[in-house]
Amino acid sequence: MLQVAAETTTAAAAAPPGGGIFITVGYLLFFVVVMYLLIFLPQKRRDKKAKEMLGALQVGNNIVTIGGVSGRVINIKDDEVTIETSVEKTKMNFKKWAVKEVIKPIES
C-alpha cells in the first residue's frame, strides 16, 4: 500500500500543469490592457483637449498660465503668446504650452 501511494505522488509531480504558459500570457495581456485603459487613454484625451484649447486661442481671450499669471491675450505669434496683466497693462510673453486654461466670460 505504501508503494502505491509513492507511485501516484511521483506521477502527479511529473505531469505538466494544464495550460500554464497560456494562463501566464493571459495575465500579462490583461494587465497591459488595464494599464492602457487606466493610464494612456485618459492622457491622450487630456492632450487632445489641451491642443484644441490652444488652437482656439484668440486675441482678447482671458487666460491663466501654469504659473498662475492671468491676463488678456493681446498678440499671438507662432508659439508665443503676449498677455496684458494688471491695471498698469504690463505686457508679458509666454510660450503657448504655458497656457493652462482659457477663461470664458459668463454670459447672462
pLDDT tens per residue across span 38-67: 999 999 999 999 999 999 999 999 999 999
Query: b/e map of 39-56 (b: 16 or more CB within 10 Å)?
Result: eeeeeeeeeeeeeeeeee
The answer to whether the CB of 70 falls within 8 A of the CB of 85 is yes
Identify the DSSP state of 61.
Answer: -
**Residue 45 phi, psi dihedral angles, 5° rounding:** -65, -40
| Span 80-100, pLDDT tens digits | 999 999 889 999 999 999 999
